[in-house]
């Protein structure tokens, strides 16, 4: 059996809230036998098929089996799992550097050198997944945590929507957060590893400018902006110092046809991520933080 059925409180001391999701709460927990701290993700089980609250047991089993298959420095590791009557508790590696989202809120936008390092780390974690035919399908700043404030070291933390993509199998039913979903998700067309690459384009755009490329006044408007690929770098206040390399990187990801988007390997060898010449390196550095005076 995948889940222990003893009481989690017998083995872990439950601490304070450190995060919450739609149907889950994350609390700091301490393993009694070792004194080590972890993150306990308490996921409410769906009580009946008619209900829309809670998570289907099979979806929790899928998240656990994907977490067990992955092993990478920038992907959260699973230490233990318990099943109680109303909920499942995943004991996850504890990350305390805060969400990339909150870092962005304080930093507004980051200079290209720093942004490129962040994106490279996210791409390395994503490569580990894509090489195993696993796609995340919910990449967004909230699901990316900082290991600590001063490095670009990140951790992917939430695999609730992740799927194994079997060749020929058709996945159409996933719906992540409007700002980050690819056109094929909105149009209920088949999803693929390339669906994650769209989200990398959106996250990079936000890292560089602090703006969300497709965000509208409501979800409907956001969806219209996404399906129309309605984004630009024209807003001079935010992109005047952005390099052509960075714009080229994003333009190869925010493409309607998933097959035309750069793959994770192509992104890792793009000159914005892996500058080949002094000139390309300088291009990345000349974009500077417009320091608010």
Q: Which residues are catalytic?
A: 138
Pattern of binders to ligand Cc1ccnnc1 over 228-267, x per CB under 6 A? ----------------------------------------
List of residues 6+ apart from 214 with CB closer than 8 A:
178, 179, 202, 222, 225, 226, 230, 231
Tokens of 284: 């990345």
Instruction: State which residue, 160 or 183, has the beta carbon closest to ligand Cc1ccnnc1.
Output: 160
Does 208 engage in binding with ligand Cc1ccnnc1 (CB under 6 A)? Answer: no
CB of 237 to ligand Cc1ccnnc1, least distance (A): 33
CB of 153 to ligand Cc1ccnnc1, least distance (A): 14
CB of 152 to ligand Cc1ccnnc1, least distance (A): 18
Does 92 engage in binding with ligand Cc1ccnnc1 (CB under 6 A)? Answer: yes
Does 90 engage in binding with ligand Cc1ccnnc1 (CB under 6 A)? Answer: no
Cα atoms in the 13 Å half-sphere on the side-chain side of 168 = 0
Does 146 engage in binding with ligand Cc1ccnnc1 (CB under 6 A)? Answer: no
Binder among 18, 61, 171, 268 for ligand Cc1ccnnc1 (CB under 6 A): 18
Does 19 engage in binding with ligand Cc1ccnnc1 (CB under 6 A)? Answer: yes
Instruction: State which residue, 26 or 250, has the beta carbon closest to ligand Cc1ccnnc1.
Output: 26
Does 95 engage in binding with ligand Cc1ccnnc1 (CB under 6 A)? Answer: yes
Residue numbers 20-79 binding ligand Cc1ccnnc1 by CB under 6 A: 26, 39, 76
Does 94 engage in binding with ligand Cc1ccnnc1 (CB under 6 A)? Answer: yes
User: E strands within the chain?
Assistant: 12-20, 24-31, 37-44, 78-83, 87-92, 134-135, 144-146, 154-156, 163-164
Residue found by looking up tokens 């092993």 in the block: 71
Backbone angles phi, psi at 136, to 5 degrees: -80, -50
Count residues binding ligand Cc1ccnnc1 (CB under 6 A). Answer: 10
Q: Stretches 90-98, 115-123, 189-197, 246-254: which one binds ligand Cc1ccnnc1 (CB under 6 A)?
A: 90-98
Pure H helices in 108-263: 112-130, 183-186, 193-209, 219-227, 236-239, 244-251
| 283-287 contacts, C-beta under 8 A, 24 or more apart | 283/243, 283/244, 283/245, 284/112, 284/113, 284/116, 284/243, 284/245, 284/246, 285/112, 285/113, 286/241, 286/243, 287/111, 287/112, 287/208, 287/241, 287/242, 287/243, 287/246
Binding stretches for ligand Cc1ccnnc1 (CB under 6 A): 18-19, 26, 39, 76, 92-95, 157
């Amino acid at each position: 059996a995948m889940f222990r059925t003893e009481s989690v409180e017998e083995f872990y001391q439950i601490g304070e809230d450190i995060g919450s999701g739609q149907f889950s709460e994350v609390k700091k927990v301490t393993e009694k036998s070792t004194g080590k701290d972890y993150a306990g993700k308490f996921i409410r089980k769906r009580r009946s098929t008619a209900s829309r609250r809670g998570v289907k047991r099979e979806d929790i089993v899928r998240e656990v089996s994907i977490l067990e298959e992955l092993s990478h420095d920038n992907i959260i590791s699973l230490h233990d799992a318990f099943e109680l009557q109303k909920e499942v508790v995943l004991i996850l590696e504890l990350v305390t550097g805060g969400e990339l989202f909150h870092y962005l809120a304080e930093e507004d936008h980051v200079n290209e050198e720093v942004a490129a390092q962040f994106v490279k780390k996210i791409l390395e974690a994503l490569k580990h997944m894509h090489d195993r035919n696993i796609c995340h399908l919910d990449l967004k700043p909230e699901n990316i945590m900082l290991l600590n404030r001063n490095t670009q070291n990140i951790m992917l933390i939430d695999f609730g929507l992740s799927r194994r993509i079997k060749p020929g199998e058709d996945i159409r039913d996933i719906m992540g957060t409007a700002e980050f979903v690819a056109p094929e998700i909105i149009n209920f067309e088949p999803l693929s590893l390339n669906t994650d690459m769209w989200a990398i384009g959106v996250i990079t755009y936000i890292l560089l400018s602090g703006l969300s490329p497709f965000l509208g006044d409501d979800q409907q408007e956001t969806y219209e902006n996404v399906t129309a690929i309605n984004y630009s770098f024209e807003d001079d206040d935010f992109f005047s110092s952005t390099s052509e390399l960075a714009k080229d990187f994003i333009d190869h990801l925010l493409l309607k046809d998933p097959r035309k988007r750069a793959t994770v390997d192509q992104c890792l060898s793009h000159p914005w991520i892996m500058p080949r010449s002094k000139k390309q390196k300088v291009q990345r550095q000349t974009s500077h933080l417009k320091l608010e005076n």
